[in-house]
Amino acid sequence: MRLLVILDPLPSIRTYKDSTYAMMVEAAARGHELFVCEQHELSLARGRAMARARPLRVTDASGSGGPWYELGETQSGPVAAFGAVLMRKDPPFDMEYVFSTYLLEHAVREGARVFNDPLAVRNHNEKLSIAEFPEFSAPTLVTRSADELRAFVDEHDEAVFKLLDGMGGTSIFRAKRGDPNLSVIVETLNQFGARSVMAQRYLPEIRDGDKRVLLIGGQVVPYCLARIPKQGEFRGNLAAGGRGVARPLSARDREIAEALAPKLAARGLLLVGLDVIGECITEINVTSPTCFQEIRQQAGFDVAKMFVDALEAASAR
């Protein structure tokens, strides 16, 4: 199969931890032809979704951090000419990302198999999508109103605030009732009513980790990666200094995952990363879920193998 991977610049990939690298290594080992391009190399020309892509050969599958690939000459052609397309551009989910989903959606109409489905990605804001599953979510408020955000803290004693397009733990604030900085936090985030803000009841179980639970092709990966905050922090994100610890899923983790997996897979979301704190989901990640390598390294479960199995099956349908 000719596999096109849309990703960030190759020199930025850290092979010891990057999930896209693990996917490509596994696909190459099975004999699939790899092609890569960046987001800006997608276009619409003469009514067709096009990509300027380069063939990639994996030269080092060890993840040692040295040179690991060779690139061929750039080839321009229809996105639909590939057997499958992986959209692995990391957030932020900005307007350029939205425009890319429109181009890829056009490619789907031409017969391309794009994972995750671009329409489903666009329709699933990673913060707001938990509203579909209130039985698994902590009390949540989304609003532009400063008064409502302050009242939410009063009601729940302590809350976490985040922007709907945030990533990697950036611009996340924690506030308690009576916090003298509460109004400043609200004003900073909602920009005096210009931006929507999500407030969630603070979950003290974060001390035990913000768990990344992976769903692949409607099936549940049996291990999660608990991102444990560093001393003095409440954010578990690895980008914010959290420490990743692979663990078997708890009964509650599995209950949540098995309830969501078939519904999300039916929408064309081949790979989903649930964020679970304690008993509650806090986000549903669909753009570029990660943690493949940490789980394999610590628990011995080959997530990339499971993913490529699912990719092959979905591409053949």
Q: Report the catalytic residues.
A: 127, 162, 212, 227, 235, 275, 283, 285
- Pairing verdict, β 243-248 and 219-228: antiparallel
Token code pair at residue 74: 């750039």
d(CA 266, CA 120): 10
What single DSSP character describes residue 32? P
Cα–Cα distance measured from residue 212 to residue 221, given in angstroms and rounded to the nearest whole number: 10
Task: Check if the beta carbon of residue 269 is closer than 8 Å to that of residue 124.
Answer: yes
Which neighbouring-strand residues pair with 245?
226
Question: How far is Cα 217 from Cα 234, in angstroms, rounded to an integer?
Answer: 32
Cβ–Cβ under 8 Å, residues 32 and 110 = no
d(CA 2, CA 19): 19
| Coil, strand or helix at 229 | coil
47: left (phi over 0), alpha (psi -120 to 50) or beta: left
CB 79 within 8 A of CB 107: yes
Q: Give me 253's structure tokens.
A: 């983790």
> Residue 44: is it exposed, middle or buried by C-beta count within 10 angstroms (0-12/13-18/19+)?
middle
Helix, strand or coil for residue 281?
strand
Give the three-state DSSP class for 82. coil
3-state SS class at 202: coil
